[in-house]
Amino acid sequence: MTRSQQGTLSERVTDALSDRDLTVVSNRQPYAHDYDDGEISVSRPAGGLTAGLDPVMQRTEGTWIAWGDGDADFEVADEDGRVRVPPDDPSYTLSRVRLSEEDVEGYYYGYSNRALWPICHGMIGTARCDGRDFERYRAVNRRFADAVVEQIDEGLVWFQDYHFGLAPRMVRESAEDAVLAQFWHIPWPTWDTFRICPPAEAIVSSLLANDLLVFHTREYVHNFLECVAEAVPEATVDRVSGTVRHRGNATTVVAFPLGVDAARIGELAERDAWPDLEARHELEDRTIALGVDRLDYTKGIPERIYALERFFEDHPDQRGELTYVQKGTGSREEIAAYQHLQERVDRAIDRVNGRFETDDWQPIVRVEEHLPKEELYALYRHSDLALVTPLRDGMNLVAKEFVAAQLDRRGVLLLSEFAGAHEELGDDAVTINPYDTQGSPTPSIGRSRSPRRSDASA
Ligand code: F6P
């Protein structure tokens, strides 16, 4: 009997979870321990993935395997890198994998973020595919796979994202009966694009060792199934049910768009914890347009600023009336493309401010400080416009957070047609093409790539 004949996927997942034997594998860890003035302090990395999965783990009491990137991480862990978390009320085990500088350079900055990231976002000109990086990526995937195999019996393993393109096959080879699932949080491109990523076939084939493979949108599911047909010709692809049969395994490929906790965001936004920004007086009585981004070249930030420049040129009456707030968080700063982006953004903002500012008005206000959630959501709530304009984005939760934080207000979401969130929110947003910095917004009607879902998260 092959594995695909041993009960339905949901029966096997339910069985696995009833034993509370869930193992999550991600690159980022949910809690980091660092030295702070000689004392050890705990922090929670920014990012929706870890924040979203932590409550799940607290309920299932399983194990979370992740890179221990804090400088005091292994001080507080046992000899196997294990520590109980959350620190103030432990309910599950965080199992830290120690990576050397060379590992981080080749696996994280290298293959994950200089090759896979730009390729999956369709920015092939930015991709750097170095065979040594791929070898590190493979070696680190092996380390994570070994860590998984060491501690699972027949439970459910849930891989997160593109950092683990090879680990599922490695785990499957040692743990035939494990239930494996993976959420690929970034876009999946067409085969013409993905195939430039050597060796693309190995990644596609490894992902088929999962029982369940999840993307944010139906477009990415469609692209993945087409890639399977090209890269793994011996696999059988059923495009209607989204099932792929390969090497005695059946993989269900589905779109489950990630949502946000809209009720919680609404609650926090309602507290009106307006942040004490340096530029607070700039915003009073003005129309506020807001952009909240990790500083990534996929987010379309320079293009957005060129579009604003054009807007102030063409609409002099709006000078002094509308202020754009750019909340940016630094990211992957060791990679040259991210350093260039930072310079481009700074130059563009300085140019627009230099051209249009007056004694009592600054067109673009930067917010660089970390804002606690309730202050961030108050900023969302009091903004009249959110500019969510990525050139390509797996989902983009800022769009959903903005909608959830508006409460009784009727702010407008300008949303790129190239964000995964557009599949759900496109009908209610003003659709824009982020490359078209001089264009008018496109009427949304009929523009979303798929029918509106009634269960959109926000
Ligand atoms: O969107 C993909 C993703 O890996 C998210 O899960 C994460 O929040 C974000 O990119 C940040 O990436 P990094 O962990 O490289 O800082």
Q: Read off the pLDDT of residues 43-73 as tens digits, 9 standing for 90 and up.
A: 988 777 888 888 889 888 899 999 999 999 9
Considering only CA atoms, which of 267, 269, 239 is closest in space to residue 254? 239
Between the CA of 316 and the centroid of ligand 1 the distance, in Å, is: 39
Q: CA triplet 201, 226, 398: central angle to 5 degrees?
A: 95
Four-point Cα dihedral 204, 205, 207, 213, nearest 10: 80
What is the structure's pLDDT at 48? 75
Closest atom of ligand 1 to 47 CA is 8
* Angle formed by the axes of helices 373-381 and 262-270, nearest 10°: 80
Determine whether the shortest distance from the Cβ of 364 to ligand 1 is under 6 A: no
Between the CA of 287 and the centroid of ligand 1 the distance, in Å, is: 31
* Angle formed by the axes of helices 167-174 and 131-151, nearest 10°: 40
pTM summary value: 0.91
396-437, pLDDT tens digit by residue? 999 999 999 999 888 999 999 999 999 999 999 999 999 998
What is the structure's pLDDT at 15? 58
Per the structure block, which two tokens stand in for 142? Answer: 């092996």
Determine whether the shortest distance from the Cβ of 329 to ligand 1 is under 6 A: no
User: 44 and 51 in contact (C-beta within 8 Å)?
Assistant: yes
Q: Which stretch, 29-33, 370-374, 443-447, has highest mean pLDDT?
A: 29-33
What is the structure's pLDDT at 416? 98
**Residue to probe by mutation, ligand 1, list 294, 296, 398, most atoms within 8 Å of CB:** 294
Overall average pLDDT of the 100-104 stretch: 98
Determine whether the shortest distance from the Cβ of 373 to ligand 1 is under 6 A: no
Give the range among 284-288, 323-327, 342-346, 354-358 with minimum mean pLDDT: 284-288
Between the CA of 165 and the centroid of ligand 1 the distance, in Å, is: 15
Q: Which residue has the higher pLDDT, 116 or 16?
A: 116
User: 367 and 259 in contact (C-beta within 8 Å)?
Assistant: no
What is the structure's pLDDT at 126? 96
Between the CA of 394 and the centroid of ligand 1 the distance, in Å, is: 11
Determine whether the shortest distance from the Cβ of 168 to ligand 1 is under 6 A: no
Considering only CA atoms, which of 274, 183, 188 is closest in space to residue 228? 188
Residue ID of nearest Cα to ligand 1 atom 3: 185
d(CA 327, CA 325): 6
Determine whether the shortest distance from the Cβ of 161 to ligand 1 is under 6 A: yes
Residue 272: is its pLDDT beyond 60?
A: yes
Give the range among 153-162, 220-229, 303-312, 323-332 with minimum mean pLDDT: 153-162
200-242, pLDDT tens digit by residue? 999 999 999 999 999 999 999 999 999 999 999 999 999 999 9
Share of the chain above pLDDT 70, in %: 91
Closest atom of ligand 1 to 163 CA is 4
What is the structure's pLDDT at 277? 80
Determine whether the shortest distance from the Cβ of 169 to ligand 1 is under 6 A: no
Share of the chain above pLDDT 90, in %: 78
d(CA 68, CA 86): 15
Residue 8: is its pLDDT beyond 70?
A: no
Residue 88: is its pLDDT beyond 70?
A: yes
d(CA 169, CA 183): 15
User: 411 and 402 in contact (C-beta within 8 Å)?
Assistant: yes
What is the structure's pLDDT at 443? 53
**Residue to probe by mutation, ligand 1, list 161, 298, 398, most atoms within 8 Å of CB:** 161
Between the CA of 205 and the centroid of ligand 1 the distance, in Å, is: 24
Determine whether the shortest distance from the Cβ of 47 to ligand 1 is under 6 A: yes
Determine whether the shortest distance from the Cβ of 52 to ligand 1 is under 6 A: no
Residue type, 420: G
Determine whether the shortest distance from the Cβ of 209 to ligand 1 is under 6 A: no
Per the structure block, which two tokens stand in for 429? Answer: 């947003």
Three-class SS of the chain = CCHHHCCCHHHHHHHHHHCCCEEEEECCCCCEEEEECCEEEEECCCCHHHHHHHHHHHHHCCEEEEECCCCCHHHHCCCCCEEEECCCCCCEEEEEECCCHHHHHHHHHHHHHHHHHHHHCCCHHHCCCCHHHHHHHHHHHHHHHHHHHHHCCCCEEEEECHHHCCHHHHHHHHCCCCEEEEECCCCCCCHHHHCCCCCHHHHHHHHCCCCEEEECCHHHHHHHHHHHHHHCCCCEEECCCCEEEECCEEEEEEECCCCCCHHHHHHHHHCCCCCCCCCHHHHCCCEEEEEEEECCHHHCHHHHHHHHHHHHHHCHHHCCCEEEEEEEECCCCCCHHHHHHHHHHHHHHHHHHHHHCECCECCEEEECCCCCHHHHHHHHHCCCEEEECCCCECCCHHHHHHHHHHCCCCCEEEEECCECCHHHHCCCCEEECCCCCCCCCECCCCCCCCCCCCCCCC
d(CA 218, CA 233): 22
Per-residue pLDDT band at 456 (split at 50, 70, 90)? very low
What is the structure's pLDDT at 282? 74
d(CA 206, CA 201): 8
Overall average pLDDT of the 28-52 stretch: 90
Query: Within 13 A of 41's CA, how many CA atoms are on the CB side?
Result: 8
User: 145 and 122 in contact (C-beta within 8 Å)?
Assistant: no
Residues in CB range of 359: below 8 A, 6 or more apart: none
Give the range among 158-172, 291-305, 429-443 with minimum mean pLDDT: 429-443
Residue ID of nearest Cα to ligand 1 atom 15: 332
Tell the residue number behind the tokens 């409460």, with chain if given.
Answer: 407
Write phi, then psi, for 52 (nearest 5 degrees): -75, -35
User: 406 and 266 in contact (C-beta within 8 Å)?
Assistant: no
What is the structure's pLDDT at 454? 30
Per-residue pLDDT band at 154 (split at 50, 70, 90)? low
d(CA 380, CA 386): 8
Per the structure block, which two tokens stand in for 371? Answer: 């804002």
Per-residue pLDDT band at 112 (split at 50, 70, 90)? very high
What is the structure's pLDDT at 3? 55
Give the range among 61-70, 77-86, 445-454 with minimum mean pLDDT: 445-454
**Residue to probe by mutation, ligand 1, list 159, 331, 400, most atoms within 8 Å of CB:** 331
What is the structure's pLDDT at 453? 30
Residue 445: is its pLDDT beyond 60?
A: no
Residues in CB range of 181: below 8 A, 6 or more apart: 13, 156, 157, 158, 159, 210, 211, 212, 213, 214
Closest atom of ligand 1 to 48 CA is 8
Q: Indicate the average pLDDT of the chain.
A: 90
